Amino acid sequence: MATIAPEKPEYRTSPTAYEVLVEHLKQHPEDTPQHTHPYDVSRSDIYFEDRWQPIFAEMRAKGPLHYVPESPYGAYWNVVSNKAIQHVEALPELFSSSWEHGGITILEREEEEGLELPMFIAMDRPKHTGQRRTVAPAFTPKEMKRMDEEIRQRTGELLDSLPRGEVFDWVDKVSIELTTGMLAILFGFPWEDRRLLTYWSDWAGDTEIATVKDLTPEREKVLHEMGAYFQQLWMQRAQEEPGPDLISMMINSPAMNQMDPREFMGNLILLIVGGNDTTRNTMSGIVHAFDKFPDQRKLFEEQPDLIPNAVQECIRYQTPLAHMRRTASEDTELFGEQIKKGDKLILWYLSANRDEALFDDADKLDITRENARRQLAFGYGIHRCVGARLAELQLRILLEEMHKRRMRVHVAGDVERVKANFVHGFRKLEVEITEF
């Protein structure tokens, strides 16, 4: 397919969302978010420095819900146990996901007209049902089987191209490359521009940059560039025979082909962040965790039949999206706490996945863990991640192809985590490859 080129940033030279935020806070330290409550886990430094675990463990020991009366994101409830999160997600009418009530992240609802981005994960029934059904056929077992060979070939070729005997960044060379390639295939996106998907994903998924009002115009500009690019793809696809890509599916769906530009943009962000950040961060998390727990890496090397379970355990251990949010649609009682209509509940998936009540020795990677599949990284109930099967397939194939090549990956340099409270992962992971 020919490249479609409305005005768009050149991702190789444009600063990332993170770089823009760091530079802004350097010049305007007064905009640095202030956190005073001991359980205000919206602070991004605890994830950047990987010291969030004891704070959540303390909360879980005291109860499943904890109220934070003030934060840069307003007042909210922390929901921290596996059981409580499942309970909330099982009651979608009572605990709304709708963008009209605030959506699915800890961010405050945009008061300014036109800044909200509806997306089907941030909708309640019945609208959620129709839009989810539109894209679901892209992720059926039949589709996974069809894609297996192509994913395996791309993964194998990439692993064979990696440098030996030198240190390189696994995030850039492997995690980003594999996930953006997969997204490009799903969207039928011009291959030479695929890294734009990563660039847009980072701007869209950064909750902290969204709290700095001075940077709103820049964030909006990037998202509008994304919308314009995809609008041209949409117009092109509308002239063609229906294909298996997600844009063609939207065009040919009564539930989605009348979307206004904001809703189209919102759903693109959902599919890009969902398909990009989650798999990308787990691909990095697997390598980092195997290096941290060499006994588990040895098990993987000696018993490749453990790979399917290892995928579930690595997803549990990494938890690539830290939270989702729900908003109470009426007054209710929840685990002994009085919840008021309009209260914001933050479902901390990374806490649920370290819940001692369900997972023994939860801070340790254990690829033989019998109940690893009970991880909540993909959510629960009607909003469970529509692309979960594809993420699992990509991760399984990556481990299988690494094993086939007897590839052992050592952390050998800088490790830099994402400084955010929503996306949970790695910005840089310098490694070196040897063989086992």
pLDDT of residue 8: 55
What length does the chain have? Answer: 436
User: Which pLDDT tens digit goes with each residue over 170-194?
Assistant: 999 999 999 999 999 888 999 999 9
164 burial level (CB within 10 Å; 0-12, 13-18, 19+): exposed
Residues 6+ apart with CB under 8 A from 409: 170, 287, 290, 291, 402, 431, 432, 433
Measure the N-to-C terminal CA separation of the chain; round to a whole number of Å: 41
The string of pLDDT tens digits covering residues 21-32 is: 999 999 999 999
- 153 pLDDT more than 50: yes
State the pLDDT at residue 257: 82
Max CA distance (Å), the chain: 61
**CA nearest 348: which of 37, 86, 75, 36?**
86
The pLDDT score that the predictor gives to residue 352 is 98
Report yes or no: 223 and 39 within 8 Å, Cβ to Cβ.
no
pLDDT at position 211 over 50: yes
Mean pLDDT of the chain: 90
Interhelix angle 261-292/177-187, nearest 10 degrees = 150
Is residue 4 pLDDT above 60, yes or no?
no
pLDDT at 115: 47
Token reading at 26: 């350097």
Q: Per DSSP, which regions of 269-343 are E strands? A: 323-328, 332-334, 337-339
Q: What's residue 6's pLDDT?
A: 46
pLDDT higher than 60, residue 63: yes
In sequence order, the 6+-apart residues with CB closer than 8 A to the CB of 176 are 195, 198, 280
Predicted local distance difference test score (pLDDT) of residue 111? 52
What tokens were used for 382? 């009607």
Q: What is the pLDDT of residue 12?
A: 64
pLDDT at residue 7 tops 60: no
Nearest one of 380, 396, 359 to 282, comparing CA atoms: 396
Amino acid at 101: H
What's the token pair of residue 148? 């297996």
Helices marked H in 167-260 — which ranges?
170, 177-187, 195-205, 216-238, 246-251
Query: Is the pLDDT at 1 greater than 50, yes or no?
Result: no
Query: Mean pLDDT across the stretch 73-81?
Result: 97
Cβ(323)–Cβ(329) under 8 Å?
A: no
> What is the pLDDT averaged over residues 86-94?
96
Give percent above pLDDT 70 in the chain. Answer: 94
Q: What is the pLDDT of residue 3?
A: 41
Give the per-residue pLDDT at 122: 58
- Left (φ > 0), alpha (ψ -120 to 50) or beta: where does 307 sit? alpha
Q: pLDDT per residue over 220-252, tens digit each?
A: 888 888 888 888 888 999 999 988 888 888 888
Q: What is the pLDDT of residue 385?
A: 87
Is-contact 210 74, C-beta < 8 A?
A: no
Q: Once rounded to an integer, what is the mean pLDDT over residues 384-388?
A: 88
Percent pLDDT > 90 in the chain is 64
Residue 40 has pLDDT above 90, yes or no: yes
- In this predicted structure, what is the pLDDT of residue 209? 87
Least confident of 40-49, 255-264, 356-365: 255-264
Between 270 and 288, where is the model more confident?
A: 288
Average pLDDT over residues 162-172: 96
Asked if residues 279 and 425 have their Cβ atoms less than 8 Å apart, the reply is no
Give the range among 197-201, 268-272, 412-416 with minimum mean pLDDT.
268-272
Give the model confidence (pLDDT) of 334-381 as tens digits. Answer: 999 999 999 999 999 999 999 999 999 999 999 999 999 999 999 999
> Measuring CA to CA, how many Å separate 80 from each of 60, 65, 349, 352, 436?
6, 6, 8, 6, 39
Q: How many whole angstroms separate alpha carbon 431 and alpha carbon 424?
A: 20
- Give the predicted TM-score (pTM) of the model: 0.90
Q: For tokens 């990563």, name the residue.
A: 198
pLDDT in tens, 109-144: 655 444 456 665 656 677 777 777 878 887 888 888
pLDDT band at 201 (very low <50, low <70, confident <90, very high): confident
Q: Indicate whether 168 pLDDT > 90.
A: yes
Predicted local distance difference test score (pLDDT) of residue 286: 97
